[in-house]
Amino acid sequence: MEYVWLDEEGNEIEADEAAQPSRNGSGATATKAKPAGKDKPINTGRRVIQPPSWQRAARRGLLFAPAIALFVYLLNRNLPLYGVVLNVLILLAFFIPFGYLMDRITYRAYTRRLNAPKKKTAKKA
């Protein structure tokens, strides 16, 4: 079984690095893992998980805006250009906050899972 500790920045460190001998030499002391801050990115080793931001949600909305415009145009070809633009703006008014909400939910779930105490499994003899 391998133990992994988190330092103050939320980075993973090996258990033998975290366990240091105490001053009186009576054994190892381990620092308790602190939860990552709400506005700090989480480094998982493979990639950095960024906290949710409105700027990223708006950028994603603008990235999907042409696809939404094409979809609205294909659904109703009789709609004038200002009608398509108005529909896209209305749909983006729902898409951007919903995207931010989903980012926030997944980020919170990931940080809870990361900071949850590890369950010990019993070894079978």
How confident is the model at residue 80, as a pLDDT? 94
User: Could you tell me which of 7, 6, 38 has the C-alpha nearest to residue 114?
Assistant: 6
pLDDT at 91 over 90: yes
pLDDT at 32: 45
Strands 20-21, 28-29: pairing is antiparallel
Distance (Å) of CA 74 to CA 31, 71, 78, 92 = 59, 5, 9, 17
Question: What is the phi-psi region of residue 41: left when phi exceeds 0, alpha when psi lies from -120 to 50, beta otherwise?
Answer: beta
pLDDT band at 3 (very low <50, low <70, confident <90, very high): low
CB–CB of 73/84 below 8 Å?
A: yes
Give the model's pLDDT for residue 105: 95
**What does the pLDDT look like over 40-90, one tens digit per residue?**
777 767 777 789 999 999 999 999 999 999 999 999 999 999 999 999 999
Where along the chain do its domains lie? Answer: 51-119
